[in-house]
């Protein structure tokens, strides 16, 4: 789950900013158990950019219900 979040955050930064980037830190908050064998909805958005640093927030939700996030991450 953490790797998924890292990947999606990285992709958002790659697509929305110029130049190569890499993760400096990844904070993950596991708020609920993620279900097996169900689709997941993963969302990431840039919170702010300061110089060459980009801050990203991401969530993973149940893909069927879209209810409150099971995981939240910030990078």
Residue 43: CB minimum distance to ligand DCC, A? 16
The residue from 4, 10, 41, 74 that contacts ligand DCC (CB under 6 A) is 10
Residue 14: CB minimum distance to ligand DCC, A? 4
Q: Which long-range contacts (CB under 8 A, 24 or more apart) does 19-25 make?
A: 19/52, 21/54, 23/75, 24/53, 24/75, 25/75
Q: Does 22 bind ligand DCC (CB under 6 A)?
A: yes
CA distance 39 to 8: 16
Binding mask 52-71 for ligand DCC (x = CB under 6 A): -x------------------
Strand partners, 29: 72
Q: Does 23 bind ligand DCC (CB under 6 A)?
A: yes
């Amino acid at each position: 789950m953490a790797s998924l979040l890292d990947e999606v955050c990285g992709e958002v930064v790659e697509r929305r900013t110029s130049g190569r980037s890499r993760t400096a830190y990844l904070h993950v908050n596991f708020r609920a158990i993620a279900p097996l064998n169900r689709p997941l909805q993963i969302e990431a958005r840039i919170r702010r950019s300061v110089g060459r640093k980009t801050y990203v927030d991401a969530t993973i939700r149940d893909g069927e219900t879209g209810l409150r996030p099971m995981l939240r991450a910030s990078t």
